[in-house]
Chains A and B, each alone.
Chain A
Amino acid sequence: MIDSLLRPWGRADWLFQKNPLAGKEWLVIGSIATQQRCLSIFRHHGKTLSVKFAGCIEIVDNDAPPSFSIDAAARRQANKDQMEQDLALVQRKFVRFGLLDPIATLKPILKDWISSANTKNVILDVSALPERFLFPTLRWLRETTEIENLIVTYMLPASYTRDELAYNPGDWGQLPTFIGDGDKDAKQVEKIIVGVGFIPFGLPELLKNTYQNPNKADISLIFPFPSSPQNVRRGWEFVRQIEVSLPLSDEARICRVAANDLSGCFDRLQLITRKGVLPAIFAPYGPKPHSVAMCLQAINMGAEVYYTQPAYYHPEYSIGIAQDGGTPLGYAYAIRLNDVDLYK
């Protein structure tokens, strides 16, 4: 709260019962995924929040091999059926996209949902939303001035698969709507900010190939810590792979931020970019709350966001739903409260 701005966040069941959010009716934008946790936020309906309208984006991995796609389709269908059951009395709409499909058509769909929902309160559940959809969706919602309260939720699974999470990453490219203004070329970028995740794919070499410039650009890694020992170990392996190609100038280049601390991550990004003044690019490979922080800062800066989008994901990317006494566990982050943008 250096800038005296309180950015409320915490357990979803806690946040939604606090003022000014308590008692409001919500448009909830989520996803129909293979992961069961895509249901979590909707299961808060009637308990900690009231869903007035549900807009769900079903994302299909068109390029997955049959062994994955058949299983994935069955899981998505099961989740969809469950959602229909959970939200039987709620107005809801579904839309289907291929994972790598063009997404310009999503924008009018979001507009339509906002208008149909007839509420100024919107929740975006990013739990199972791939970065390729998350980033433009959040941008468009942030740009919608009619929304008074905008909350991002990230719900937790019971566990993750031990297999590879994602497959066939594409080439290093900008995420939709984050191609920058084109005024800067690689040499003008001064900060490369990478969210540390599990697998960097081609990131180290791509970074080096494009931005290696020892006189100017330096790299900062947003390391999710504290986190589980297994995740910390995988995070360090990620760092090692980056370091092989791009030596870090000093230990301070690794910024430790708790995996769920979106606000803390945003503060670090503000520090690194000197409140958005230093030209930067972002590579969101880390946990979703960190990716959301990067998204918000990139919107503020008109910065480019790069990613090596996988062509498909493991159908069991995550398993089950983390619960506390029957309530799905997860975090909620206030992005806009009473018309005030908290991440500007």
Chain B
Amino acid sequence: MIANPFHDLYLSEAIPEEALVELFSPIIVNYASAVFEPGNVIIRGLQGTGKTMLLNLLRPESRLAYRRSRRNTFPVPKESWRFIGAGINLRKCGALEFAQHLSSESDSRQIQELELLFADFVNYLVVQDLISTVDQFVQFDDKELLTEIGINGQRDRLDTFSQVLASDPCWFDALEGVINFDQLKDRLANRLKTYRRFLNLNVDELPKDITETKTVIGNPILKAAEALRVSGVLAADTKVFIRIDQYEQLPTLNVMGTNYGSNCQELIHKALSARDARVSYRIGTRTHGWPERPQIYRTTDVLELKRDFTVIDIDEIFRRRENVRTWAFPGFARDIFSRRLKVGALNTRMPFGDFSIAGALGRSLGPKECAHQYVSTESGRNGIIEKALNSLPAHIPQEWKTYIKSIANTDLLSAWLSCAWVRQKSVVRKNSLPLGSPPQDSALPWESKPYWFKERVQIGLLQIASENRQKLMWSGEDDVLNLSGGQILVFLFLLQHIWDAWLRDKRGATESDFRFPIEHEVQSQGILEASIEWRSKQIEGNNAFKRKGFVDALGRHFYVKLTNDSAMSYPGANGFSVSNIELERDSDVAEFLKQAVGFGDLYESPHTSKTKGERRTKYYLAPILSPYFRIPSVHTKEPEYVTVKEVSSWRPGNISTEIKIGEQRTLWDDGTP
């Protein structure tokens, strides 16, 4: 049986390292080399853009897996190989649970105490992980690797390290008496065990030997790195990277009217503010998770971009540019695709030699082909154009009607666009040039205005499909890359569903029947299923219900607007643009939009306004939702200019509105599964 090579969407912390080595695409490293250089780096991006995948390269397990692999070299530039990494995932490590001890009666001293305990817990966890990293490399006992990284794991050096570290004043004598490596590990583990009892609410209070020896955020980590070097365990030039993942979780701890979570973030900022070459931090966070003013704990100072940290924005790296040649995502996606297929071919009896997206999915259908797919019979084409001609204003000259009719059967799309052309020229623009006569010798009206045609192809196809009650077709490499919107998770999600549809289509077939490219209709079905499933997933996180209602209202608004625009005056109306000044005035709407962008419901980018000097922001629905809402995924021309009030009107405000939207949607779907 042929399996779906895209069934596993994630390369996460839990994936076996052997698989990671085969599936990891080194292309992302080319765009994020700062991760392996000294200095603090904030890695931000939507869920599934590759943050964790990137951070995983800092883990010793990944390094060792590459070492074990004969076929794959560690995908970091060789000159940056001299490093070790350690860190925590804030959601999984239990640190968020300190907030369980807050109460409405907590005074500022108690809240501060909990903040400082959070800091101490993080210090101990990270130092424990740092030691574990060294331990893993030492246990692996590969001399070449140890030299490559700069580790000397001789027992006496490890013991010396333990003594140096334990005697440092940063611990306030909490590690007093430690004389060897095992004792150090035990003491750290015991303290963390006591912490876990406290976090599990098994004990109401921490013992004095903990509360009186709280460490300052970041200090023990610096001291541990220093002690590793002083004792000769770590070479002087070996870099130490500290991962802190899921940083965006902390504000969820702002409960009971406190700023507890934000203050914990400020503690992390404090660790970064040390700007100490001994240790560099790597903070993983979702889009918008990193504050604009990262304030340092209990000060008015803020971390400064470039001086205290740099930012790697994975969404930005893979965002589609105006100039498609500078778009980095296709190369990344192609590499991941071919790796998946190769591993799939090894693990299953997949009879393919072509591991490219273009080979598997073929090219996307051209506009003409699409139009003929939507209306496949001559009578259908004639009927649709006849109807369109009948709805044209009465004063349109007959010669134009005859012209449009003559091209309809061979080029339905051009005939349809010609209807819009004559509408625009005769009615919409008062001061436009006279319509004139139709072109001769099979020429098309917009011959001298190629952009007029280019900008209206998608809306034309949408209207034709809608007129004949057909779903939009999506297939081929270009469509899949466009719908992925620069998110590798979405790309894999689409392929997972295309493959599922294909396997379903070929059920009962023999392996020799599986041939590339996959049929367009099958791909389109898989993509539609992926879109439906993606939309149904948008019920998670803050304000999810409102965001879902907003996305539904917006999708429907775009669909209706585009299908009703028979003159095609606003072909870019699959997006909207709002003035930045208006957004600044209405923080509620601004925050809502920011949240929707943060969860990947919307895409935002700066918009150059028609009005000189005006600053605006444009928003589009995530492209993966386009098949579900039957709107084009390509962004052309000007988006719809709207006010904050209009944006607000798309937000569901009460139960009745929400239910009404849901009911309308169901009716509108007419059979969409």
A202 touches B13 (CB 8 A): no
B256 touches A176 (CB 8 A): no
Residue A247 interfacial (CB < 8 Å): yes
Minimal beta-carbon separation of B28 from chain A (angstroms): 18
- With a cutoff of 8 Å between Cβ atoms, the chain B residues found around residue A225 in the complex are none
Q: How far is the CA of A173 from the CA of B95 in the complex (A)?
A: 11
Closest to A100 in B: B255
Minimal beta-carbon separation of A59 from chain B (angstroms): 14
**Could you mark each residue 254-281 of chain A with 1 if its beta carbon is under 8 Å from any beta carbon of chain B, else 0?**
0000000000000000000000000000
B8 touches A168 (CB 8 A): no
- With a cutoff of 8 Å between Cβ atoms, the chain A residues found around residue B542 in the complex are 168, 311
Q: How far is the CA of A186 from the CA of B545 in the complex (A)?
A: 30
Of B7, B256, B543, B656, the residue contacting A168 (CB under 8 A) is B543
Minimal beta-carbon separation of B541 from chain A (angstroms): 7
Residue A209 interfacial (CB < 8 Å): yes
Of B249, B533, B540, the residue contacting A202 (CB under 8 A) is B540
Residue A339 interfacial (CB < 8 Å): no
Closest to B547 in A: A168
Closest to A203 in B: B540
A176 with B544: in contact, given A182-B196, A210-B12 (CB under 8 Å)? Answer: no
Tally of contact residues, A, Cβ under 8 A: 51
Minimal beta-carbon separation of A110 from chain B (angstroms): 11
B200 touches A65 (CB 8 A): no
- With a cutoff of 8 Å between Cβ atoms, the chain B residues found around residue A213 in the complex are 14-16
Residue B672 interfacial (CB < 8 Å): no
> Which among B97-105, B318-326, B390-398 touches the partner chain?
B97-105
Q: How far is the CA of A165 from the CA of B253 in the complex (A)?
A: 25
Which residues of A (147-180) have their CB < 8 Å from a CB of B? 163-164, 167-174, 176-180
Minimal beta-carbon separation of A213 from chain B (angstroms): 5
- With a cutoff of 8 Å between Cβ atoms, the chain A residues found around residue B193 in the complex are 181-182
A179 touches B199 (CB 8 A): yes
Residue B546 interfacial (CB < 8 Å): yes
A170 touches B654 (CB 8 A): no
Q: How far is the CA of A179 from the CA of B198 in the complex (A)?
A: 11
Which residues of B (421-444) have their CB < 8 Å from a CB of A? none
Which residues of B (5-49) have their CB < 8 Å from a CB of A? 7-10, 12-16
Q: How far is the CA of A46 from the CA of B103 in the complex (A)?
A: 36
**Could you mark each residue 91-122 of chain B with 1 if its beta carbon is under 8 Å from any beta carbon of chain A, else 0?**
11110110111110100000000000000000
A102 touches B9 (CB 8 A): no
B15 touches A176 (CB 8 A): no
A212 touches B93 (CB 8 A): no
Of A100, A136, A171, A208, the residue contacting B201 (CB under 8 A) is A136
Minimal beta-carbon separation of A278 from chain B (angstroms): 17
- With a cutoff of 8 Å between Cβ atoms, the chain A residues found around residue B202 in the complex are 177
Which residues of A (86-105) have their CB < 8 Å from a CB of B? 98, 100-105
A176 touches B12 (CB 8 A): no
B13 touches A201 (CB 8 A): no
B249 touches A171 (CB 8 A): yes
Residue B252 interfacial (CB < 8 Å): yes
B10 touches A209 (CB 8 A): yes
A interface majority secondary structure: loop
A176 touches B16 (CB 8 A): no
**Could you mark each residue 195-225 of chain A with 1 if its beta carbon is under 8 Å from any beta carbon of chain B, else 0?**
0000101100100111111110000000000
- With a cutoff of 8 Å between Cβ atoms, the chain A residues found around residue B10 in the complex are 205, 208-209, 212
Residue A48 interfacial (CB < 8 Å): no
Q: How far is the CA of A244 from the CA of B252 in the complex (A)?
A: 29
Residue A4 interfacial (CB < 8 Å): no
Closest to A208 in B: B10
- With a cutoff of 8 Å between Cβ atoms, the chain B residues found around residue A100 in the complex are 255
Best-buried of A104, A172, A213, A311 by chain B (most CB within 10 Å): A104
A186 touches B99 (CB 8 A): no
Best-buried of A98, A101, A179 by chain B (most CB within 10 Å): A179
- With a cutoff of 8 Å between Cβ atoms, the chain B residues found around residue A208 in the complex are 8-10, 12
Minimal beta-carbon separation of B363 from chain A (angstroms): 29
A102 touches B102 (CB 8 A): yes
A102 with B255: in contact, given A163-B659, A171-B541, A212-B14 (CB under 8 Å)? Answer: yes
Q: How far is the CA of A172 from the CA of B541 in the complex (A)?
A: 10
- With a cutoff of 8 Å between Cβ atoms, the chain A residues found around residue B255 in the complex are 98, 100-102
- With a cutoff of 8 Å between Cβ atoms, the chain B residues found around residue A179 in the complex are 94, 97, 196, 199-200
Which residues of B (544-559) have their CB < 8 Å from a CB of A? 544-546
Q: How far is the CA of A109 from the CA of B133 in the complex (A)?
A: 43
Minimal beta-carbon separation of A44 from chain B (angstroms): 31
Q: How far is the CA of A202 from the CA of B544 in the complex (A)?
A: 12
- With a cutoff of 8 Å between Cβ atoms, the chain B residues found around residue A214 in the complex are 16
Q: How far is the CA of A212 from the CA of B13 in the complex (A)?
A: 9
Minimal beta-carbon separation of A215 from chain B (angstroms): 6
- With a cutoff of 8 Å between Cβ atoms, the chain B residues found around residue A174 in the complex are 94, 97
- With a cutoff of 8 Å between Cβ atoms, the chain B residues found around residue A136 in the complex are 201
A67 with B16: in contact, given A168-B544, A245-B9, A247-B7 (CB under 8 Å)? Answer: no
Residue A344 interfacial (CB < 8 Å): no
A104 touches B200 (CB 8 A): no
Of B93, B196, B204, B654, the residue contacting A181 (CB under 8 A) is B196
A169 touches B540 (CB 8 A): yes
A176 touches B8 (CB 8 A): no
- With a cutoff of 8 Å between Cβ atoms, the chain A residues found around residue B94 in the complex are 174, 179-180, 182
Residue A308 interfacial (CB < 8 Å): yes
Residue B302 interfacial (CB < 8 Å): no
Residue A107 interfacial (CB < 8 Å): yes
Residue B537 interfacial (CB < 8 Å): yes
A212 with B196: in contact, given A171-B541, A176-B201 (CB under 8 Å)? Answer: no
Closest to A140 in B: B201
B9 touches A205 (CB 8 A): yes
Q: How far is the CA of A167 from the CA of B549 in the complex (A)?
A: 12
A212 with B204: in contact, given A168-B542, A171-B541 (CB under 8 Å)? Answer: no
- With a cutoff of 8 Å between Cβ atoms, the chain A residues found around residue B546 in the complex are 65
Residue B539 interfacial (CB < 8 Å): yes
Residue B312 interfacial (CB < 8 Å): no
Q: How far is the CA of A269 from the CA of B494 in the complex (A)?
A: 36
B103 touches A105 (CB 8 A): yes
A173 with B91: in contact, given A167-B545, A168-B545, A212-B14 (CB under 8 Å)? Answer: yes
Residue A133 interfacial (CB < 8 Å): no
**Could you mark each residue 199-234 of chain B with 1 if its beta carbon is under 8 Å from any beta carbon of chain A, else 0?**
111101000000000000000000000000000000
- With a cutoff of 8 Å between Cβ atoms, the chain B residues found around residue A163 in the complex are 659
Given contacts A101-B256, A173-B96, A212-B10, 19 further A-B contacts (CB under 8 A): A65-B546, A66-B654, A68-B655, A98-B256, A102-B99, A102-B255, A102-B256, A104-B101, A104-B204, A168-B542, A169-B539, A170-B252, A172-B91, A176-B97, A177-B202, A180-B196, A202-B540, A208-B8, A212-B12
Q: What are 7 A-to-B residue pairs whose CB atoms are below 8 Å? A: A67-B653, A171-B249, A177-B202, A186-B14, A199-B539, A212-B14, A213-B14
